[in-house]
Each structure stands twice: as structure tokens, then as C-alpha cells.
């Protein structure tokens, strides 16, 4: 008797849940797309691709009303500064994600015992190089937005102070992805040349 009653109650609850309306919302604004960006414990390529999609949409989308900004905005000048820093920060996150994705295909060393898979390794290096070069594009974007924000850097938006710190690091040269990516590409080319030099006698 108790089992039957329990089954009836569970069935009724499941039925009620199934007919209740589920309210969703459209992702329209840059801040909404940015909030979808998240880091995974395991950084698989598809996770990087997912984050890149969210971040690229954030750069393309309109900004939300200043009332819904990620910082407290008090006037049009602060609003302008906020938008520059937001675009710079998102561009930097894209650099990081493209570098992370590229690292999944990069080969740090051309081991002699990988000679039987020479072609596959060369293809993998091509993918890594393409992703690193995408990162360079967004690095230039980040620098451009940082330069635009420079004249307004006297403003203080405490909620996004970290973004302002990133701008300072770019301006001072402390943060230079051009150099970092350049080193990756140089090393990648040397690994590629090592693979190309392999023949049937290598292994």
C-alpha cells in the first residue's frame, strides 16, 4: 500500500514538473556572453573552443545598459572607459584561450621514436601554429583597446580594477604576448624542421 502511494505521489510530481513552464532568456549583451566564459579543470580542445565562442560573441555584442554593467558607472566618461577595458580584457582572455588550445597540438620536442607518425605530428604543428597566430590577432586588439583606455586611466572603477591593472601591464611592457607567442612560433618551427629531417633511418 505504501509503495503504491509513494509511486503515485512521485508520478504526480513528475507530471507537474513536466507541465510547468521553464523560463529562459536570450543572451543578447556583451556582459551576458562574458559571464558564460568559465575555466574547466580539464582543458580539452572543445572546452577552449566553447570559451572562445562565448568571448568572441562578447566582443561582437552590444553592451548592456550601464545599470547592468559589471562595474558601477556614474557618468558617460566612466562608461567609455569601462567599454574600452572590457574589450581589452576579453581580447586578452581570447589570447589565453587560443594559446591554451594551440598547446594541445604543439609538440615541444621531436622525439626520434615519433618518426613513424611524422606526418601526423606535422599536421598537429600546423594546427598549433594557426591557433598561435589567431592569438596574435587578439593580442593586437588588446593593445589597441589598452591604448584607447590610456587617456581615461585616471578614472577608478573598483569592480574592474584588475582590468585596469592589465592595461598598465600592457602599457609598461610587463605583459607582452607578442614576445611570448613569438617564442612559441620559433620553437615550433625548430620542432617542425626536426620532424621534416626525419626519414626511414631515424627509427
What sign results for the dihedral spanned by CA atoms 46, 48, 49, 54? positive
Amino acid 6: pLDDT: 58
| Selection from 70, 73, 87, 71 nearest residue 140 by Cα | 87
Determine if the pTM surpasses 0.75.
yes
| Per-domain boundaries in the chain | 2-196
Instruction: List 29's β-bridge partners, or say none.
Output: 62
Amino acid 19: pLDDT: 62
Q: What is the pLDDT along the chain (203 residues), one digit of tens a residue?
A: 555 655 665 565 566 555 655 566 688 899 999 999 987 767 777 888 999 999 999 999 999 999 999 999 999 999 999 999 999 999 999 999 999 999 999 999 999 999 899 999 999 999 999 999 999 999 999 999 999 999 999 999 999 999 999 999 999 999 999 999 999 999 999 999 999 999 888 88
| Selection from 59, 60, 40, 41 nearest residue 50 by Cα | 40
For 29, list phi and psi in degrees, rounded to 5.
Answer: -110, 160
For 50, list phi and psi in degrees, rounded to 5.
Answer: -60, -50
**Secondary structure (DSSP) of 29-85:** BHHHHHHH----SS--HHHHHHHHHHHHHHHHSBPPPGGGSSS---SHHHHHHHHHH
Amino acid 17: pLDDT: 52
For 94, list phi and psi in degrees, rounded to 5.
Answer: -65, -40
H-state helical runs in 74-117 = 76-103
For 107, list phi and psi in degrees, rounded to 5.
Answer: -115, 115
Amino acid at each position: 500500500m505504501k509503495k503504491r502511494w509513494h509511486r503515485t505521489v512521485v508520478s504526480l510530481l513528475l507530471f507537474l514538473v513536466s507541465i510547468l513552464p521553464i523560463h529562459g532568456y536570450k543572451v543578447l549583451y556583451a556582459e551576458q556572453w562574458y559571464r558564460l566564459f568559465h575555466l574547466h579543470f580539464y582543458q580539452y580542445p572543445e572546452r577552449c573552443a566553447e570559451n572562445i565562442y562565448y568571448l568572441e560573441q562578447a566582443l561582437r555584442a552590444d553592451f548592456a545598459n550601464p545599470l547592468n554593467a559589471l562595474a558601477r558607472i556614474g557618468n558617460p566618461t566612466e562608461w567609455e572607459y569601462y567599454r574600452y577595458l572590457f574589450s581589452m580584457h576579453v581580447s586578452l582572455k581570447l589570447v589565453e584561450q587560443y594559446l591554451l588550445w594551440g598547446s594541445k597540438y604543439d609538440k615541444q620536442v621531436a622525439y626520434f621514436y615519433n618518426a613513424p607518425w611524422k606526418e601526423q605530428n606535422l599536421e598537429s604543428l600546423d594546427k598549433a601554429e594557426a591557433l598561435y597566430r589567431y592569438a596574435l590577432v587578439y593580442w593586437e586588439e588588446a593593445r589597441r583597446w589598452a591604448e584607447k583606455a590610456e587617456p581615461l586611466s585616471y578614472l577608478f572603477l573598483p569592480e574592474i580594477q584588475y582590468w585596469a591593472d592589465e592595461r598598465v601591464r600592457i602599457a609598461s611592457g610587463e605583459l607582452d604576448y607578442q614576445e611570448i607567442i613569438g617564442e612559441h612560433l620559433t620553437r615550433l618551427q625548430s620542432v617542425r624542421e626536426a620532424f621534416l629531417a626525419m626519414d626511414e633511418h631515424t627509427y
